[in-house]
Amino acid sequence: MSGIPKRYQELMARFPGVGSAYEALGEAVHTAGPLDERTRVLIKIAVSTGARLDGAVQSHVRKARKAGVTYEEMIHVILLALPTIGFPAMMSALKAVDAVMLPSSNDSEAQ
C-alpha cells in the first residue's frame, strides 16, 4: 500500500489540473525558505496536530519517516503541543502517529 489515501488519489485522477497546481504549490512553499526537510516535516506534524487534522498528521508522519525522523521525535512534537491545544487533541494526534508507526498497537486499543 502506498499510504496515499484513496480519496486523494481519486481527486487527483478526476481533476488533474487541480492536482498539479496543488502539488506545485506544495513544492513552492517547501523550497521558499531555508528550512531542511526534517524541520519542515516536523513543523507539518505540529501544524496538523494543532488543527486536529488526524489524516494530515498521518500523511506527514509517513513523510517524516522517509526523511529519517524517529518515532520519538514525532512523539515529542505532539507532546509539545499539549499545553497549547489541550489533552484530547494531543491524545488524538498521538493515536494518529501510532496508527502509522505502530499499526499493530491499534488492534489492542479497541479492547
Neighbours of 101 (CB within 10 A): 17
pLDDT attached to residue 108: 52
81: domain CATH number is 1.20.1290.10
3 state SS for the chain: CCCCCHHHHHHHHHCHHHHHHHHHHHHHHHCCCCCCHHHHHHHHHHHHHHCCCHHHHHHHHHHHHHCCCCHHHHHHHHHHHHHHHCHHHHHHHHHHHHHHHCCCHHHHHCC
pLDDT attached to residue 92: 97
Q: How many domains does the chain have?
A: 2
Residue 110: inside a domain: no
pTM here is: 0.85
Q: Please, what is the Cα angle at 109 between 76 and 74, to 5 degrees?
A: 15
Q: How far apart are CA 45 and CA 5, in angstroms?
A: 17
pLDDT attached to residue 103: 83
Residue 48 structural domain = 34-104
Residue 109: inside a domain: no
In tens digits, what is the pLDDT along the chain, a chain of 111 residues? 467 788 989 999 999 999 999 999 999 999 999 999 999 999 999 999 999 999 999 999 999 999 999 999 999 999 999 999 999 999 999 999 999 999 886 655 544
Neighbours of 14 (CB within 10 A): 9
Residue 111: inside a domain: no
Same domain, 89 and 39: yes
